[in-house]
Structure 1
């Protein structure tokens, strides 16, 4: 997969991640990626950028249904089946150290939350904001479409509350969110989380840490060839360089 509009600096590895705040597997995927990154020998040279993806762009500000009933309706399943789905992902999240509380989750539109993540990026706090919003949705029962809630969460990660409020009310980052979504469509991304490594390699889904680590290692090796290792004597023997040859005089 080629993405010409995304590129890494020569000494860096760029990782672009599309995900949604309302995606249970995206939080799990974030944790697994962090575990992979912690084991990656070039982790300090990895640059992570989060991109917006709305699983339900037409969602109301607050959905009237519970998570269980919404899942049952969406997939045409019984409430019991939907509960089983929730229990499965809750157990998986727990394995990653996450506490999911779907019993108090408040479903709603995530467009404003994605704008907030873009705003946080301008202040060097994108990852912290992403983390806080995921926890707010999956664990704390916060309504992430509510302006006052978003301002409070932004302040918790160190952003200026009045500035955040003005940015969200003015839709200052709305275009950036739409650009993310258009790029996802152009890349053929239909599900999240989705990782793009080095601008041209895609990894779909909340893969296990070892798979993600393998992907990081492979892409780094392909995009950052290792320098030649010299073997033999410590100093080179006579040779020719730049069109000139050093010819030793005969005794």
Structure 2
């Protein structure tokens, strides 16, 4: 039996990006399907869709209408597509009229800290669920610290991280690194530093791409 192929997966995404939630769920399902044929390690990389937002955020519908030049009916139609895709992956997408969009920089700092303890995926999924399913404020230090605790991290230390401003330089450096490599939209899944899988693809697309990459990758 061949040894599993080693895959480094850099998943570039934002907490407030619905297609990132879809992409991460699909990627994990694809890896489950591949079973023992690959030995994959997912590294979460930061990307801010709206770095100019204040922590108070904005009305999400108005924000999308202004940013993309679309009307309320188009926003609703886009959300319906996202809701259907998410549901197929077991993820509840509840964004609608009255939802808000928030600054995510502190969430990225907390994710950087969580990755140092190998709890980044648990925290990322907690953040995505809190925002898209439960409508929580993911700029709030109180909410972020609580979610860190739910993800198996020390919530007191999480609060210290948030209030101290640590890891800001590291997050900015990673954002700049991937932007310099041409990443302008997310999610972007980069395998072994060379293979790009763009967008929130279905599980079967991730699975096929990863199989092909693994076949050409030494164990």
Give me the TM-score of the superposition, normalised by structure 2.
Answer: 0.92
Residue from 179, 194, 197 that aligns with 1:200: 194
1:139-178 → structure 2 map (5 Å cutoff): 139-178=133-172
SS at match of 2:100: coil
Higher helix share: 2
Query: Corresponding residue for 1:229?
Result: none
Is there any run of 5+ residues in structure 2 with no aligned partner, and where?
none
Per-residue displacement from partner, 1:7-38 (whole Å, max 9, x unpaired)? xxx96211111000000000000111011101
Give the CA deviation at 1:171.
1.6
Task: Name which structure has the greater RCO, CA cutoff 8 Å, separation 6+.
Answer: 2
Distance (Å, rounded) in 1 between the aligned partners of 2:116 and 2:18: 26
CA RMSD of aligned residues (A): 1.7
- What SS does the aligned partner of 1:219 have? helix
- Which residue in 1 is equivalent to 2:82? 89
Contact 1:52 1:114 in 2 (8 A): yes
Alpha-carbon separation, structure 1, partners of 2:57 and 2:108: 18
One of 78, 91, 101 as aligned partner of 2:94: 101
| Structure 2 CA distance for partners of 1:43 and 1:23, relative to 1, 3 Å | farther
- When normalised by structure 1's length, the TM-score is 0.81
- Taking the aligned partners of 1:98 and 1:210, their CA distance within structure 2 comes to 17
Where does residue 58 of structure 1 map in the other structure? 52
Instruction: Provide the residue aligned with 1:46 in structure 2.
Output: 40
Runs of 4+ in 1 over 6 A off after TM superposition: none
SS in 1 for 2:30: helix
